[in-house]
Amino acid sequence: MNKIADLSAALAHSGTSDHDVVRQRTLKASIGCAGVGLHSGHKIRITLHPASENHGIVFRRTDLASQPLFPARYDGVIDTQLCTCLGDRDAGIKIGTIEHLMAALAGSRIDNVLIDIDADEVPVMDGSSAPFNFLIDCVGITEQNAPRQVIEVLKSVEVEYKGCTARVDPAHGFEIDFEIDFASKAIKNQRMSVKFDDGVFVADISRARTFGFLHEVEAMRSMGLARGGSLDNAVVLSGDEVMNEEGLRYEDEFVRHKILDALGDLYTAGKQLQGKVTAYKSGHHVNNLLLKALLADASAWRLVPMRKSALHSVETQELAMA
């Protein structure tokens, strides 16, 4: 995706002045945390390190002798059944449940970071991105010299899989319009549109937790999965009832979390998109299919510098909730 190699070429390509260019960002210092793996139930430690310009987001398995590196890219995703999973299928190496951390990095506009992890999945924490955003806030963010490039969508691309759809259209800035539809009366039909301007993710989306149904959790545990899942790190529903004593963090927490997941999945493009994503009942697999379809068509996108005007705050728009 090296259509633009340096700042001068980027500015000449877009007609953007140096003053209007958004710079790449990384962390000011290293910081780590420990938590439980959603599926393994094991204690896992991750450490986020600052990284150089154009490094991107890269995971490193420190528990393995070779300490293999896995860039967080859509073409390195090997599984999307229960989460977004990077890895090397032939070597039997994976890093699962990356989407909540990826969403936190995307929402904070972190371009470059090296993530050390000592297990095969990112800890689930409280089931949202908020704990990862807290880590970022603790160490702070530093601006780098290189321009922040975005993937400008030039024409509409759409994918469909088993009745679930996702489409991306040209737009100024980045927006996700997401609709879900469940039989459970606790969820029903929810739709929300979010323009990801500066600060919107942390304020409106980051605290939304992952969710599932009790019968699904029981089925996964019978297969040796979801061993770390609990009411402390997920919203669990039994039929039409929310089992968590504290209830929901937002009335429409379910669709907000689906937007959170989509943001994290789409950040595996390697850059932020500049376009509008419209999704209906989409999940990790369809999100990945959308990136593959978009980036396989060289006429559908180009790399351009991000403009500071794209960071102006715009209120979140809630379109409908049944």
Catalytic site residues?
284
CA-CA distance, 226 to 206, in Å (whole number)? 22
246 vs 86, 186, 250, CA distance in Å?
A: 33, 15, 11
Q: Give the separation between CA 35 and CA 38, rounded to whole angstroms.
A: 9
Structure tokens at 223: 């297969």
| Axis-axis angle for helices 253-266, 284-296 (nearest 10) | 40
Question: What is the C-alpha to C-alpha distance for residues 145 and 53, in angstroms, rounded to an integer?
Answer: 8
Specify whether the CB–CB gap between 16 and 8 falls below 8 A.
no
**DSSP count for the chain of H helices, then E strands:** 7, 21
Strands ordered across the beta sheet of 85-88:
77-79, 85-88, 93-95
Helices of type H across the chain:
7-14, 99-107, 130-139, 200-204, 214-222, 253-266, 284-296
CA–chain centroid gap for 110, Å, is 12
Rg (CA), the chain: 19
Cross-strand bridge partners of residue 21: 307
Residue 3 is encoded by which pair of tokens? 């259509």
